[in-house]
Structure formats: structure tokens, C-alpha cells
């Protein structure tokens, strides 16, 4: 490896233009692919407060269909009655939380102060067991407070600073849409990358009447659900219990002439991420999703590989005599082939590191554009840290793509070079 690395550096210096173009072309290919990988992983990787995503199942949307007319259907969040009827008696999961889908804009202020615009999230007491928020003061509200609909709130530290001027605010009262609430806990700020858990103020949805906004015979409403399984191996058991609960609930609501369609819900994080693309009334075809992604990756690899192959051919043309001498001193064709592939792999890895670094820098500097983030309300937005973008799997993907790109771009030139006639090669003839 030491000899190969020195040889690579020497050859790049001998042909600076071709060497520079090769490195830049490889780096850009890896850069584009890694940006796609990071965007994809952000919605599925274990990032606080969704650190337990590998154990989570989501029932964001509920679909119902008329039992009288097959053309009548409705898709959206469910009502609290439906949540209790379907999820209330489930025993297999570790915890199940219900929350109003999405956040809403609200005004928060101390008495007599100017209101600040915040993102309000309505949740239940189990929300804190499913998602792992970092409390810096106080505690979450519990089941007794949720059942009683008490006006208590958990707020983020930036919200505490904007509204109160301090994070030492446990027990202090503020106005939320001009209604008095008491702070019971303060958590670290959450990035918008986690749309399901992002917010500035978290209150029991029973403390307001918004969750009672139901339709379709009180089957549909405002709530979504997230299930925390004890382990990923329980997913099939959870879905089986869910299907049994839905079948039982459909019997209860039979007089309404509506029935719940599951579409194989609840979904894991990978499948849930595709619902935004296909719609809530269609089950995502994950095989098609993986095939489309594979095709895109192959295009991003093959197009630069074709160009880089000619660059590799040009570099090897100047080394024809060297290859002939190596063969004359006993280097076999397979050893010659592996030598060239190894040297090109070093170049690919060097360029891959550059491409990986560029993708991280780009994601950090352009994350608002890349991930669709924006400041909401008067509370400063939290930007993504490197730890949220870089995972072991990201490095493994980068290494895999570097290896594939190396084989595609240098495989044929290396094979042809290894089969040169020794005498012609020493004479500089490529025949």
C-alpha cells in the first residue's frame, strides 16, 4: 500500500490536468450521492427526540371507506374516540402516544408583555415515553394532569428565554393565546428535521377543545399515533394486534356505514417517509421505491464512470513501458490487474473523502434549502449538527460507492493493460 500510494502521488504530479479532473469528477459524483443519502437518512435515522426510530411504528393517517358506496372514502387524522377504540387496549407495544397532527401557530407572553409567535403542539402524557426529549428543568406533565385537562405546558429553552428572559421558569405563569398556562418543564430545543416532534410549547390536547373537531360520525378528527414497540422483532405482533383491534372497532361503528381501511398500517419510518409522496390512501410500494433509488444511484455512478474510464485509459497509456517491465520481471496478469485497480481505488478513496467532506459542509451551510427548514415564529430556529448528518451507515455507503465507482471506471482499462504483450509494452506499443 505504501508503494502504491507513492506511485499514485507521483503519477498525479506527472499528469496534473488528467489527475485533477479525475479527482474532481470522482469527488463530485460521491458528493451528489452522499447528499441524497443524507437527505434520505434524516427522515429515518435515530435522531433525538426520535432516537428510538428502529422501534417505532406510525399511524399518522387513518382511511375510512363507506360500506354503502365504494366510491366514498375519507383520509386524514383520527378522532380521540377512534384512537381509544383502536389503540386503547393494545398490550404488545411498550407505549402508544396520540397527538394532534402537526403544530399550530400561537402567541405566548407574560402578563403585560408583547406576545411572541410560537409553534404549539398538542400531545398526551404518553408522548414523553415514546419520544426522548432532554429536560433541563422540571418534568413532563403526567396522566392525571392530562386526564384533568390542566393548563400546564412544557416549553423549549429558547422559548423560555424569549418569553421570560430566563430558563429558570418552572411554576411561572404565561399566556398562551391569552389563556393562562403554567410551565412544568423546560426541554432543549428541537430541530425542524423532526416534523413530528418539533415545537416550542407542548400542552395536553385535553386542555383545549381543538381535538374535539371531528367529522364522519366522529371517526375522523385531529389525531395521529406513534407506537413504540419493545423491539423491532415485535412489529408483526403489533400489526396483528392492530388489525384485530380495527376489525373489532369496525363492528362497533358498523351503524355509521363506515369502516376503517388499514393499508397495512402502522408503517415503520422508511415506509412512513414515502406516504408524503404517494398519498395517505395508497400503501407505498417499497420495492418500487428501492428500485427507483437504485436507478438514480447507478446513473450518478455510471455517467462519471464512463468519463473517468477514459481518464484512466489516458493515465495508463503513459505507463505502458512500466507495465511491460513489471511483466518482464515476473509480475503476472492478475497481479498487474490488482495493482492498477488498487492504485485507482486509492485515487477514488482520496476523492471520496473530498466528496464526503463537501457534502457535509454543503448540508451544514445550505441545510435550510436542502431540508426545507425555515424560521417559524419569533423563536430562533435550531440548526442541524454534524452528528445528525453523519452516521456509521453514511460512511459505509460512501465506501461502497467509492468501490463501485472504482470498478466501473478502471475495471476495463486495467483488464486491457494487464493483457498487453510484454515486448510491445516495453516498446511502448499498446497491442
d(CA 188, CA 384): 14
**Contact predicate 382/26, CB 8 Å:** no
pLDDT tens string, the chain, 431 residues long: the values are 455 667 777 777 777 777 788 788 888 888 888 888 888 777 787 888 998 999 999 999 999 999 998 889 999 999 999 999 999 999 999 999 999 999 999 999 998 899 999 999 999 999 999 999 999 999 999 999 999 999 999 999 999 999 999 999 999 999 999 999 999 999 999 888 788 899 999 999 999 999 999 999 999 999 999 999 999 999 999 999 999 999 999 999 999 999 999 999 999 998 998 887 667 888 889 899 889 888 988 888 888 877 777 777 776 776 677 777 777 878 887 887 787 778 778 888 888 888 888 888 888 888 777 776 666 667 877 776 666 667 677 777 777 887 887 777 777 777 777 777 776 666 655 55
Q: Phi and psi dihedrals of 66, rounded to 5?
A: -65, 135
**Owner of C-alpha cell 497481479:** 335
How high is the pLDDT of residue 305?
Answer: 79
**Owner of C-alpha cell 423549549:** 156
Is the sign of the CA dihedral 318, 323, 328, 329 positive or negative? positive
Burial class (CB in 10 A: 0-12, 13-18, 19+), 290: exposed
Tell me the CA distances in angstroms from 385 to 187, 190, 389, one per residue in order: 18, 11, 7
The 3-state secondary structure of the chain reads CHHHHHHHHHHHHHCHHHHHHHHHHHHHHHHHHHHHHHHHHHCCCCECCECCHHHEEEECCEEEEECCCCCCEEEECECHHHHHHHHCCCCCCCEEEEEECCCEEEEEECCCCCCEEEEEEEECCCHHHHCCCCEEEECCCCHHHHHHCCCEEEEEHHHHHHHHCCCCCCCCEEEECCEEEEEEEEECCCCCCCCCCCCCEEEEHHHCCHHHCCECCCCECCEEEEEECCCHHHHHHHHHHHHHHHHHHHHHCHHHCEEEECCCCCECHHHHHHHHHHCCCCCCCHHHHHHHHHHHHHHHHHHHHHHHHHHHHHHHHCCHHHHHHHHHCCCCHHHHHHHHHHHHHHHHHHHHHHHHHHHHHHHHHCHHHHHCCCCCCCCCCCCCCHHHHCCHHHHHHHHHHHHHHHHHHHHHHHHHHHCCCHHHHHCCCCC
How high is the pLDDT of residue 1?
Answer: 46
Amino acid at each position: 500500500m505504501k508503494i502504491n500510494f507513492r506511485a499514485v502521488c507521483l503519477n498525479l504530479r506527472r499528469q496534473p490536468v488528467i489527475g485533477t479532473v479525475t479527482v474532481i469528477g470522482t469527488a463530485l459524483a460521491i458528493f451528489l450521492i452522499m447528499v441524497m443519502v443524507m437527505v434520505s437518512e434524516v427522515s429515518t435515522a435515530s435522531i433525538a427526540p426520535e432516537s428510538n426510530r428502529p422501534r417505532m411504528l406510525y399511524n399518522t393517517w387513518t382511511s375510512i371507506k363507506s360500506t354503502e358506496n365504494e366510491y366514498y372514502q375519507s383520509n386524514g387524522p383520527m378522532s380521540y374516540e377512534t384512537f381509544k377504540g383502536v389503540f386503547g387496549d393494545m398490550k404488545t407495544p411498550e407505549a402508544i402516544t396520540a397527538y394532534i397532527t402537526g403544530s399550530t401557530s400561537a402567541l405566548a407572553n407574560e402578563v403585560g408583555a408583547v406576545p411572541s409567535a410560537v409553534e404549539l403542539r398538542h400531545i398526551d402524557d404518553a408522548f414523553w415515553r415514546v419520544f426522548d426529549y432532554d429536560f433541563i428543568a422540571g418534568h413532563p406533565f403526567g396522566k392525571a394532569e392530562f386526564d384533568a385537562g390542566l393548563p400546564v405546558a412544557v416549553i423549549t429553552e429558547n422559548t423560555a428565554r424569549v418569553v421570560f428572559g430566563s430558563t429558570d421558569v418552572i411554576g411561572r405563569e404565561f399566556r398562551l393565546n391569552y389563556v393562562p398556562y403554567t410551565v412544568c418543564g423546560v426541554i432543549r430545543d428541537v430541530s425542524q428535521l423532526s416534523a413530528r416532534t418539533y415545537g416550542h410549547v407542548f400542552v395536553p390536547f385535553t386542555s383545549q377543545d381543538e381535538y374535539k373537531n371531528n367529522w364522519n360520525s366522529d371517526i375522523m378528527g385531529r389525531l395521529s399515533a406513534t407506537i413504540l414497540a419493545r423491539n423491532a422483532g415485535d412489529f408483526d405482533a403489533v400489526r396483528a394486534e392492530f388489525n384485530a383491534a380495527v376489525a373489532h372497532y369496525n363492528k362497533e361503528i358498523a351503524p355509521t356505514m363506515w369502516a376503517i381501511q388499514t393499508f397495512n398500517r402502522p408503517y415503520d419510518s422508511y415506509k412512513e417517509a414515502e406516504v408524503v409522496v404517494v398519498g395517505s390512501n395508497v400503501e407505498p410500494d417499497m420495492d418500487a421505491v428501492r428500485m427507483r433509488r437504485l436507478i438514480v444511484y447507478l446513473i450518478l455512478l455510471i455517467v462519471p464512470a464512463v468519463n473517468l474510464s477514459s481518464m484512466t485509459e489516458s493515465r495508463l497509456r503513459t505507463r505502458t513501458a512500466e507495465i511491460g517491465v513489471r511483466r518482464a520481471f515476473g509480475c503476472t496478469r492478475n497481479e498487474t490487474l490488482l495493482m492498477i485497480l488498487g492504485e485507482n481505488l486509492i485515487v477514488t478513496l482520496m476523492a471520496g473523502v473530498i466528496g464526503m467532506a463537501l457534502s457535509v459542509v454543503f448540508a451544514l451551510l445550505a441545510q435550510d434549502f436542502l431540508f426545507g427548514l425555515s424560521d417559524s415564529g419569533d423563536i430562533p430556529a435550531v440548526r442541524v449538527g454534524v452528528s445528525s448528518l453523519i452516521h456509521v451507515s453514511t460512511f459505509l455507503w460512501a465506501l461502497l460507492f467509492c468501490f463501485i465507482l472504482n470498478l466501473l471506471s478502471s475495471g476495463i482499462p486495467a483488464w486491457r493493460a494487464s493483457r498487453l504483450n510484454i515486448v510491445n509494452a516495453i516498446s511502448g506499443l499498446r497491442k
